[in-house]
Structures are given as C-alpha cells and as structure tokens.
Structure 1
C-alpha cells in the first residue's frame, strides 16, 4: 500500500510577529494540486479526544480550528494577528467520498507579541540562561481577568502546567537548577482566555551566552547586550555580531544601542577567541505606541474642538435673535406707512351721522427703512403731508368747502 502523501506547510521566515501584523500560511500537496480540501489545526494541551500527531519522534495534540473552513483552498490568513493566535499550526488535506486524508504537515510556530498586555515576568530577565542556574516565571495579575496560569510549548508538546520538576506557587513557576529540557516558549493565560506576550526561553550547556531582554524592546528605548562566561570572571571581552557581521569589539563584554530602531531587529551573537561563541539570539523591536505627549495633544485637541463648536452655536443663536429683531422692526415700519382714517364733523352740537365726511390722510416717509433708502439714493428724507378738500355741512344745510 502506498504511503500517504504529506503536505508542505509554508509560513513567514520570521516566526515572531507583532500584534496587528498580517501573515498567511499555505498548504500544498506536492505533485497533486487538484481536488484537495485543506483543514487547519493548532497544538493544544493534551486531551484524550484530540488528534495525536507524531513528528520527529515527538507526539503532540492538535485541535481543528473553529474557522478552518477559511483555509479550505490551501491558504489560511491571520489579519490582523492577535495574541490568541500564538501557537503551532499544522495542516492536512482530504478529497473524495469517502474522504481520503493525507498525513499532517510539519509544524509551523507563530508567536505573537502585543503592544500593551498583561505580562509574564522572567527572572533573571534574559532570553538565554545557563544550565544548573535558577529560573523563575510568573504571571502578572490583571485587574480585568482572574485565574492566570503559565502555559508553555517545549518541542512538540504544549502544556498548561509548570514543568514537572518545577515548584508551582500560585501563578509562578520556579526551578533551582534549570536544564536544556526547560527551553521553550512560555506565556500566561487567564480563565477567560486572555493571553500575555509569549517569551522564548533557552537554557544552554554552552560556556558563553548572549544575555538579552526576555521581552521585545520598544522602539526608541536603549538596548544592552552582554556576553557572559559560565565561570568566573563572567565578564569577558567580546566581539558582537549582527546577522554574522561584526558590529563592535568591547573590552567590558557589553554593547549598548542608545535608541533602538526597527532596523535593529535581527539575530545577534558574541564571541571570545579563548572562551568560545554564544548561540544566536533574536532581538524583537516593537512599535512604541502613542506617547504620553501625543495623548495629551489628543485630549487638548478634543477640548478645543468642543469649545469651538460651542462658540459657533452661540454665535449662530445670537445672529438668529438679531435677525428676528430686524424682522419685527420692519413689520412695525410697514404699519406706520398704512393709511389712517379719522371722522371729521362740524362744530355743531347736533351734527348728524349722515353729515359726517371722511378724509384720507397719507403719512409718508415715517418709517426708518424709507429714510435709509432715500439717504442711499442721495435725497433728504422729508415727511410730506397731502391735504384733501373737506366738505362740511352746517346746520342750515348749506354746503361749503375749504381748500388749502
């Protein structure tokens, strides 16, 4: 019977990512590209119901991803990458009815670090440690989550307890004499699933190690690398290398970068011609995030916008009120331009209603808007009175007229 094909899983060359990055994993069955459906898995702490996969004589447990269907075509994308995506991934293909399955692919680790998250405390605060030396890892409590515990991935096994020969106290794990078997990626996880940044801890038998911070270095902060010898005196002169290229030689065994840039993210090592060479260590540089000064600027900007908005509303209301006052004044002026009627009667005490004659008196030019209009035309605004002929009737019934 022919052996089952084994798909090839391809991922990014750098397995340490920053939260917010985008990463795509691809799965391919060599020599046969049609008709395959792909499934995506991630390592998990041992449970009897999970699938158990063997790779390079190591057995580990995997569980199907809840959104595995997204990668059915052979590509599985994490965008944006988050802390919860930390872990080791494998893929498997199937086709036909009933389904024919391939073997599992080789594992692909992805370790995601965040900008500001609950943290795991490493003591001493180094990525690399000598064997037979004490080592402690603790989970910092977060005000939003409870039940923090240490989780770690060593080789192909993911565990949710301290290593068997470590002392467990609350959310801390300690060992008085570490060994190379304690090497692995460690992180903290709460009961609600919140995770800390992972840290990569390596324990070496070597005589020389490069000490570097356990956590990613923030861009703009200083970075100090130390070359350490297992025996006394531990401080030795050393050459420091980045990606195999000599950076500098130090008689004190230390190299400091005053302000780290993203371009400093790389592999570093140190060496001493008599004591030996350290293993390479990857330095991760993370974005600084918003500074305190920037945050103050944002707050001040919001306050200024609110104040400006309030002033605009007040000015608009004031202009509206002025407009209403002007409309009322114009209406009053129009009323003054209207004709007024008065009853004119004789001086006789017994004047009859039928003897009353009405006269029309026009009052012109009394409103302010008329005056203003005439001034604009270059004329002097003068009030004019038009007199009408009035007819009166006396007691004797003789009609008379008076004209001016």
Structure 2
C-alpha cells in the first residue's frame, strides 16, 4: 500500500504543473510528433513536464489513443496527446522502456524493471515471465497471432499468447556477448516467414524460424559495434542500421549492406532511423537530438526549434498504419544511466524487501504527520477568521484601566 502511495505521489509531481504554459524544450524531456516523416515537429505531451519519455505506442484502431512510457511509469492519452493521465499507477511503476499495442488493437503490453504487464478489456495484469525477462529493453510484435518478442536484460523471450506469458528462446546464440537490440521484419514475396533480427555483441544476427536458429547478417558492415537497426515499413526486405555514426541500408533482408551518405558528427550514437521509400529523406535520433537529411545523407542538419536538440533522443516510433507519422522521445538523463539504474533496482529488490518496507512505513507515517499538521493549522485559521468579525460587531473594546 505504501508503495502505491509513493508511485502515485511521483506521478502527481508530473501532473501538478499540467495547467502550466508551453513545453520548455531547453529544460525538459518529452514526446514529439511529426506528420511529414520528420520535416516538422510539434509537442505531443501537452501539460506534462517530463524528465524522461522512453517509449510510445499508438492504438492501431484509434490513432488518438496513445500510451507513453516514462521514467516514472505509464501515461495514457485518448485525444492524441492533448491531455494525459497515469495508467494503472498502483501496478505499473518505474521506467517503462517499451510499450506496444498488439496488431488487432485489443490489448497492449509494457515492460518495467519489476515485470511485464498486459492490458485486456481495460485492466492491466502482470504477465508470467521466467528469470532474466525483466528489466526488459524492447518488445516487438511477430507476424503470427499472439506472437510477441521480449528482449530482457541480455536474453530473448517469446510469447505465443499475446503477452500473457513468455518463455526463453533456447536457440538464441550464447557466449557472443550481450543482446542489445531486437526487431521484426514482415515476410517478403521471397520469404515464407517473418525475419527476427537481433544485435548481439554489436553484430547483426537473423532468424527465420522465430529464434530457434540464427545466422550472421553483416556482410558490408565495418568492425565497429552496431548501434541500432530498423526494418523499413514501406519497402519489403529493406533494413536500416547505424554503426559508428554512419547509416547503412540493406535491400536483401540484411544479407548485404552499403553505407549511405556521409557520417554524422564524430562520436554520435544513433537510436533510431526513418526514411522515405526513395531513401533520400532521412531522420535519425541520436544521443544528442535529431538529425535530418534531404539528400540521402550527404548533408545532415540538426533539428532544433521545438525539439530539445541537446537532450538524448530515444528510438523513433513510426506508426505502421500511417508511415509518414513519427514519434520521438527525449530524456534529460542518458538512457544507459536509466537502464543501469533499472538493472541495479532489479538486482537489489529481493534483498532489500524488509528495508524497503520499513522505509515505506516511515515515509507513510511522516506523510500522515504532515497532513495532520496542515489540517490543524487550517482548522485554527478558520476559527480565528470566524472570531474576528464577531468581535468587530460587538463594538470597540473598553479602554484599559491603568493599574496603580
């Protein structure tokens, strides 16, 4: 119960300024939307002053229904981001690194440092997960009905029941280093099944059987670690990837790669990639804002204005049923730091239960004491205010008689 109060108070801190003015992009993180594939942007988090927006999902049946993962929990909007409310704050707390709607729009799934949660018929419930599934980095929808993929701390998991439960994928490569990214590309005319991609130890691996077997897909890439990969929603078989500040593209499902344009500024870490079908208009999110190119990457321009260019941008979300619409999330705190804190929290939570409970009780008693003091002061003030008018109506006080 105390934990619920603490979570609700944390969310309340965000909502207390919901009637304030415009979003200050120079100070806060947040959510932004583009209707023209990244050329222009507007705020999509009206009334919120967020420290970190981490993920976003759009209902495929209602584009005005948004779910946004933040460092304090999950938020929901039913009007395209004009107003927001906390979603299940008594259950879902902490950093929400990934949130998705299923393709039929009937359910949603999110992952936090403490668990995986599923929305069905308006209610959120905890999913069944094996060890290592949380904290989770990424959720991805598969082609089959009810199939979801979850990238946990460093391993991959699969659900065949819409996220109600997850099982470890035993065929995932081991001993190659951590798995840091996962994505799913729909089957092409030459393929009979979806392709599951993963970044393992900085290299791209692919599976055509749901993760049971894997093969390398990095011909044409350099030796540097891959930052991110993104299947193209508009061109079947096309995959984008970023490596050491350079953008690469594959038109054969990752078998061969070629570099695109010129490199981004030195030491740039790319978080997300979106492009038009011709590959000329490119938008990338990085650890320092967004960049855009109108000539296939030959020239890169930082996107400023309403966007907080100096803050860290997360993965880009491209709306599947409206590919020209992009969402970008920004955070004041670097994402690696938020992830590290989530991992530390997951590791220490089982060992500090009694301490956490004691601290929660102390916090609750302190909160009750503060409320009691404020109520007492309010009551005394009201009584004093009532006495003052009656004394005035009774006339002036008699003069004091000097004592002898």
- TM-score (norm: length of structure 1): 0.24
More strand by share: 1
Of the two structures, which has the highest relative contact order with CA contacts closer than 8 Å and spacing of 6 or more?
2
TM-score (norm 2): 0.24
Pair member with larger Rg:
1
